[in-house]
């Protein structure tokens, strides 16, 4: 793919790195499995790092360039902000579950309900600007 082949521009180790990421000499089942696992686990890693960052930030405070002690006006993180954050997450989860369970068609695109026809491309689908020349050539040839 284009993005993984960008790594091949790294001198000396580029092609080896691309083959290691692909899990072989081309994009295959191993590549898709790795990228699926990566895309599944990445939000959890980011959320865990954000929580650790917030805990450290509220424990030690942010950088104070003036050197003045500002402990007097701090509010403890737990239980005040913890309860507030959990309540906000629960409200958003409740709204999302209400939409998903009771109004599932509200979140979908109407084009998803059209029957698929692989021989006919819908007129509103256009490629990105860097593929327009190839698209124009393809459209100029009948059938």
- Give 17-45 pLDDT, tens digit per residue: 999 888 888 888 988 999 999 999 999 99
Distances (CA, A) of 109 to 56, 74, 92: 42, 47, 22
3-state secondary structure of 17: helix
Q: Which of 44-53, 102-111, 117-126, 130-139 has the lowest mean pLDDT?
A: 117-126
* Separation between Cα atoms, residue 41 and residue 36, nearest integer Å: 9
Assign residue 12 a region (left: φ > 0; alpha: ψ between -120 and 50; beta: otherwise): left
* Separation between Cα atoms, residue 45 and residue 38, nearest integer Å: 10
pLDDT value of position 123: 77
Evaluate if residue 124 carries a pLDDT over 80: no
Residue % of the chain over a pLDDT of 90: 31
Mean pLDDT of 123-133: 84
- At residue 79 the predicted structure's pLDDT band, cuts being 50, 70 and 90, is confident
Mean pLDDT of 44-72: 81
Residue % of the chain over a pLDDT of 70: 92
pLDDT value of position 65: 64
Q: Which of 22-31, 71-80, 121-130 has the lowest mean pLDDT?
A: 71-80
Instruction: Give the chain's mean pLDDT.
Output: 86
Distances (CA, A) of 134 to 65, 68, 107, 120, 126: 56, 63, 33, 18, 11
Evaluate if residue 57 carries a pLDDT over 70: yes
3-state secondary structure of 143: coil
CA atoms within 13 A on the CB side of 109: 3
Catalytic residues: 58, 62, 84-85, 128
Evaluate if residue 70 carries a pLDDT over 90: no
**Residues 82 and 55: beta-carbon distance below 8 Å:** no
């Amino acid at each position: 793919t284009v993005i993984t082949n960008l790594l091949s521009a790294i001198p000396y180790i580029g092609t080896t790195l691309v083959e290691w990421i692909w899990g072989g000499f081309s994009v295959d089942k191993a590549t898709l499995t790795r990228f699926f696992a990566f895309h599944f686990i990445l939000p959890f890693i980011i959320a865990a790092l954000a929580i650790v960052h917030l805990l450290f930030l509220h424990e030690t405070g942010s950088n104070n360039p003036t050197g003045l002690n500002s402990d007097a006006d701090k509010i403890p993180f737990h239980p005040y902000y913890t309860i507030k954050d959990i309540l906000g997450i629960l409200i958003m989860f409740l709204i999302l579950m209400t939409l998903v369970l009771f109004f599932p068609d509200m979140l979908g695109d109407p084009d998803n309900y059209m029957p698929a026809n692989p021989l006919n491309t819908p007129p509103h689908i256009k490629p990105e600007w860097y593929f327009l020349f190839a698209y124009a050539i393809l459209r100029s040839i009948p059938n």
